Structure formats: C-alpha cells, structure tokens
Structure 1
Amino acid sequence: MQHISFATKGEGFGSFLFGGTELSASFSCKGTEQTAMGVFEVIMVVLLEVLKLSVVNTLILGVFWCLASGSGSAGNDRKRRTRVKLIKSNQGAIPVDTEETCGLDTPDAGGKYQSRQPAFPRPSERRQSLPGIKYSVNVSDCYNMNHTKRGQAIIINNKHFDPDLEMGTRKGTEIDAQNLDNMLSGMGFTSSIKDDCTAKNMTDIISEVAQQNHADEDCFVLVILTHGEPDRVYATDYLVNVDDLLTPLKTCPSLAGKPKIIIIQACRGEKLDEGTDVVDAKGGGEDDMDPVVYRVPVEADFLMAFACVPGYFAWRNEEQGSWFVQALVEVLRENWARMDLLTMMTRVCKKVALDFESTKTSNRKFLHKKQVPCISSMLTRDVYFPPMTDQQ
C-alpha cells in the first residue's frame, strides 16, 4: 500500500508524497478560509481508500485534486471580495464595506494581499450619477463684495406715534438715525432715512426694495428704530409683525445669496436686566470663478441684530442715542474695513454688556440696569466690507 499525505498551504494549494505500502492520509486546515479545501481533501482520502491507487485512478484523482485546489483558492478570493456588498439608494448602487477596514484588499504582484483601495466612490464620481445637477464645489467662504455698488441702506426712524397707541415720543432717536446714516454712507452704502412711517409705509418700502434689481449690489441693510414687542415693531399707527415685514426680501431674486442685514433698535418686552457680578482673569484681546448654480433656503443669508434679547427693555439716552446704536456705530466705524461682520457684532455685544449701565434716572426701579444685544445669524459665509474703489 502507498502512503499519501497532504499538506495545505496558505492559499489552498496541496502536494503529493508517494512512498511505502501502507495507505494512510492526513490533512490540516488553518482558519475558516481553508474549510472548502479541507472538505475536498477528506473526499479524496476516502476515494483513495476505495480505489487502491491504480495508475488510471491516480491520474483521475490528480485532475480532481487540481480542480479541488483551484476551487479552494477561488473560494478564498470570493470570500475576500464578498466583504463588500452593494446597497440600493437614490444615487444607485453604492459599495459599502461590511468590515471595519473601509477598503478592499487587492493582491500585489506576488499574490499577497497588502494594498488597500477605497471602497466608496469619490465625491466627483458619485455626483456624475446624478444628471442635471450642478454642484457648488468651489463656492467661496466669503460673500462676493466686489460688485459695482455696495447696496442700499434704509433707516426707518419712528419717533412720534398715534396717541391711541399710548406710546411715548422716542427722544434721541434722531441722533441714532443720523449717526447710522453717516456711518453707512462712509461704508459705501446708498443710505436714506424714512421718518415716522405708518404700517403701510413700512410695508411699501420693503415691497419696493424686493421688486428692484440688486444684481450690481453687494448686500442690503434695513434699520428699524422704534418701539417694539418680542416679535413685533411699532409703526406710527399700528403693530407690525417682523417676519411678515421681511417676507418680500426672502423671495427677491436679485438678493438671493447676498447678505441681508437687519438692525432693530426696539424694546422686546418690559423685563429689566439686573446684571450679575463676574470674576474673570484679564483676556487678550470671492475669488473669480466659473458660475455655479445651487439652491439656498429662503431664510438663509440674513443677519438679525436686535438691541436686546426677547422679553427685555432696550435702553436709549435722550442726548446720546440708544446704547445699542452707540456701540454699533463705534465698533463698525473703527473696524468695518478690516474685520468680518459677525466678529464686529460680537464686539458690539461686549461693549453694550460691559460699558453701559443705567445711572441717569430718578426712578430707583430703573437704576443700575444692564443690557445685551441679541444677534441671530443665518449667514452662510463671512461678510467683509472691502473699501470701495474709484471704479465701483
């Protein structure tokens, strides 16, 4: 009888050893990847027991063994490749790696699995599977502020009100209006003051702006100086909802994707901020590109700057103007040509919160009170105001 032993190798190959007259068989399988090959070895040993290794049968079994080895190797390769499967999505079939490696093993020239290839398609390849859509791959992080015009700045300044509203005269508001007009004009805006506007006047002003063509302008600024409540401001004759007032601006095609800066100096309630003591250490202080088409939310690209947080009283000095506008004018006048808008608004909040306190009042109820502005940003990029050139 012949002695035959089988030794498996790493990728499922086997070798024959003939010698002796005693028939015996042995095999080994390492790991689950060799299981298929091990089964073929067992079958072959049983067949050798029965057929007694005749010359013809030996040839037959040799062919069988080669097929078995090939199947085992192919099975291993298939097993490696089945680690990536396809899932269906709206973008088509996307390969998803089911193991933690997030990549596919690929054999090098020597047959060893070493290099790794990404299992997911590149973003550009995935985009190509969605026809009819242009992607804003290279949209700048800054708004384009290099149009021929800076834009309009409209200041609605309500000082006197219908007696039926029982709202007091806003003494000192004309100082705010004039200071803002001078500052905005210096920044390059076409600024105008609209005094004592009724509800219809205010609505008509915003509607007219929304119907104009702002294609050559950088942005738009609206300032409202008046009395107010949490979500509403006073016209001279009626309360106006802030959101309703701004709705036409949200659908203006030529202002889409451009900053729309809304500044509101008005009370938002009757609460008084008592302030609190703080112990703190001293602290330190669009490129040209091919046009792209993309969609933005109608609520995007707005900056809402309120004099105070909802529910609170906004302070105004009859001789120097409101705290908020004083701080806003000072910070912007010093920094508008070198600092982005949100950073400047943070400085405004700091200045109002730390530098102002109610002291000039005979009513003790209003003595030593504080205030902080409320900045709500839906901006999608940074706002800088580069100085206007002679060509602009």
Structure 2
Amino acid sequence: MADRSRNPEYNMSHKHRGIALIFNNEHFEDPHLKLRKGTHKDSENLGRALKQLGFQVKEYTDLCSEPIMKIIKEASGRDHSDCDCILIAILSHGKLNYIHAKDKAYPVESILSPFTAERCPSLAGKPKLFIIQACQGVLRDPGCHINRPESSERDNESFISYRIPLPADFLIASSTIPGYCSWRNTVEGSWFIQSLCKELDSFGKTRDVLTQMTFVAQRVAVNYESFDEFNPRLDGRKQISSTMSTLTRILFFRDKNDTSNDDTSNDYFKNK
C-alpha cells in the first residue's frame, strides 16, 4: 500500500488563501447578557492579522441566529476549489457547546457540521479552522503557584484517490476549556484574541499553526490575570485556551508567490 503521509504539509499553493468570516456579537436581546465591551477591538485586530496572512475577511456584527446559519450554509455551498482553506471566528457570549447570537443560543456543532468532507467536498482534505472566543461555563480558574528555575525564551497536493474520515482536517481553537468562563478586557479585548493576534503578527508565516496555538495558550496562561479589588471571587483569576485538532498534515501560512489572493481578486463578498 502506498504511503500517503509522504506529503507532511497541507497544499497551500492554491490561487486564494481562502475566506475568513468573523461573527462579532456585542449586543444581545436577552437582558441577562451583558454588553461585550472591547469585542470591537478583537474583531479589528483579528481581521487585520488574517488579512496579513492572505485571507479575504468579512466581519458580521450583532447578527441573529438565522442570518448566521444562512451565511454558514452559503459558505459551505460555495466552490472552494481555488482556496487553501477556510476560517470562521465567533466572538460572543457562550456556554458549554453553545454560542449566543443576538437573539438566542445556537449549538457549536451547527457551525462545524456544514464543512465536513461530505457536505462541502471542495474543502475535503483542506484545513477548516474555527476560532471561538466565548465562555464554556461559569467556573473561574484560581490558578496555581509554581516554583522553578527561570528560563529565557524568545518569543502538495496529491492526486491519488483515497478516502478520509468525514471530520478530518478540522481545528477548533477555543478561548477556554469546557466548564470555564473566558475573560475580556473592556478596552483591549479578550485575553485569547489578544494573544492569538500577537502570535499571528510575530510568527504567523514562520511557525506551523499547532505550534502557534501552543504559544497562544502559553501567552494566555502566563501573561494575564484578572483584577477586582472589590470582589475576591473575580480577583486573581487565570485562564487557559484549548485547541482540538483533527488536522492530518502540518499547516503553514507562508507567503504566496504572487498577489492573486489580494482582496480585489476574489469576488466572494461582492453584492453581499
């Protein structure tokens, strides 16, 4: 049997890098859901970082669940044959396995399932990336002190026909782990998106994505801690991001050899 793993990296030499959809929810109809101050900063910084990597970015703000599902369905039904991958980012309130739209919560699975190889064949064998900035519960991490010596650290396409599992080639990067809340600075944005953008800005084109996500988790865990002198339950809390991957190859966002992936060359978002 032929060794199909001989190409260790994803083919990222298609005409376009791909589309990046950012669903940014700041306001909500439910009076129990607070205004997400600072999320505009997350959306702005993430969009800029993704454009630098060659993505064609479209931001949607304060959509209800039905329009979100419509856009997801349209994206999954498109022909992505000329694209390397797709990326979808959700910035909102959430709970375990659910994300809040402006009007109501919808299951995370409803964002993922339209992009399986069966339902979106033009993305079969290509990376499907999901970034989720949302709480997955109400627990708050008190952290743990550790003592250790200080260390310094600086910051192909194959045409062989074969079958792949339907959920293959997914990466889901979440701001926190199941059961825990996710922290956000009302001026600078969320800890996770801040860390992700810093990593993408510095190493987006030189480190593979899973390595980058490891350092994003490190940035979130080490560099941030909540402060609330009036409420001990909210003071000194920590956070750790998490990444679930079924990627089957190494993923790099190296520079393309030409400018064919510029925003003006792709009409995906025209008349939308």
Map of 1:356 onto structure 2: 224
Pick one of 44, 48, 64 that aligns with 1:182: 48
Does structure 1 retain, via aligned residues, the 8 Å contact 2:228–2:234? no
Amino acid at match of 1:301: D
| Structure that is richer in helix per residue | 1
Q: CA deviation at 1:361?
A: 5.6
1:85-126 deviation per Cα after TM superposition (whole angstroms, max 9, x unaligned) = xxxxxxxxxxxxxxxxxxxxxxxxxxxxxxxxxxxxxxxxxx
Map of 2:92 onto structure 1: 226
Map of 2:239 onto structure 1: 371
Identical columns (%): 38
Map of 2:268 onto structure 1: none
Q: What is the TM-score with the length of structure 1 in the denominator?
A: 0.63
Map of 2:150 onto structure 1: 282
Q: In the aligned structure 2, how far is the partner of 1:138 from the partner of 1:328? A: 29
Q: CA deviation at 1:359?
A: 1.8
Q: Does 1:245 align with 2:111?
A: yes
Distance 1:155 1:352, change over 3 A: same
Pick one of 20, 35, 38 that aligns with 1:169: 35
Distance 1:355 1:214, change over 3 A: same
Map of 2:266 onto structure 1: none
1:122-152 deviation per Cα after TM superposition (whole angstroms, max 9, x unaligned) = xxxxx5xxxxxxx553641110011110000
Pick one of 194, 204, 215 that aligns with 2:70: 204
Q: CA deviation at 1:379?
A: 0.6
Q: In the aligned structure 2, how far is the partner of 1:248 from the partner of 1:137? A: 26
Q: In the aligned structure 2, how far is the partner of 1:371 from the partner of 1:352? A: 6
Amino acid at match of 2:234: F
Q: In the aligned structure 1, how far is the partner of 2:162 from the partner of 2:229? A: 54
Paired positions, count: 256
Q: In the aligned structure 1, how far is the partner of 2:3 from the partner of 2:259? A: 29
Pick one of 147, 170, 181 that aligns with 1:302: 170
Map of 1:137 onto structure 2: 4
Q: In the aligned structure 1, how far is the partner of 2:163 from the partner of 2:259? A: 31
Two-structure CA RMSD over aligned residues (Å): 1.5
Q: CA deviation at 1:388?
A: 2.2
Q: CA deviation at 1:364?
A: 2.4
Q: In the aligned structure 2, how far is the partner of 1:146 from the partner of 1:246? A: 24
Q: In the aligned structure 2, how far is the partner of 1:261 from the partner of 1:184? A: 12
Pick one of 3, 27, 31 that aligns with 1:160: 27
Q: CA deviation at 1:328?
A: 0.2
Q: In the aligned structure 2, how far is the partner of 1:261 from the partner of 1:361? A: 38
Q: In the aligned structure 2, how far is the partner of 1:361 from the partner of 1:172? A: 21
Q: In the aligned structure 1, how far is the partner of 2:164 from the partner of 2:229? A: 48
Amino acid at match of 1:381: R
Q: In the aligned structure 1, how far is the partner of 2:84 from the partner of 2:99? A: 27
Q: What is the TM-score with the length of structure 2 in the denominator?
A: 0.90
Amino acid at match of 2:79: N
Which segments of 5 or more consecutive residues in structure 1 lack a partner in the other structure?
A: 1-126, 128-134
SS in 1 for 2:41: helix
Distance 1:197 1:136, change over 3 A: farther
Map of 1:268 onto structure 2: 136
Q: In the aligned structure 1, how far is the partner of 2:245 from the partner of 2:4? A: 23
Does structure 2 retain, via aligned residues, the 8 Å contact 1:224–1:264? yes
SS in 1 for 2:243: strand
Which segments of 5 or more consecutive residues in structure 2 lack a partner in the other structure?
A: 261-272
Amino acid at match of 1:350: Q
Amino acid at match of 2:101: A
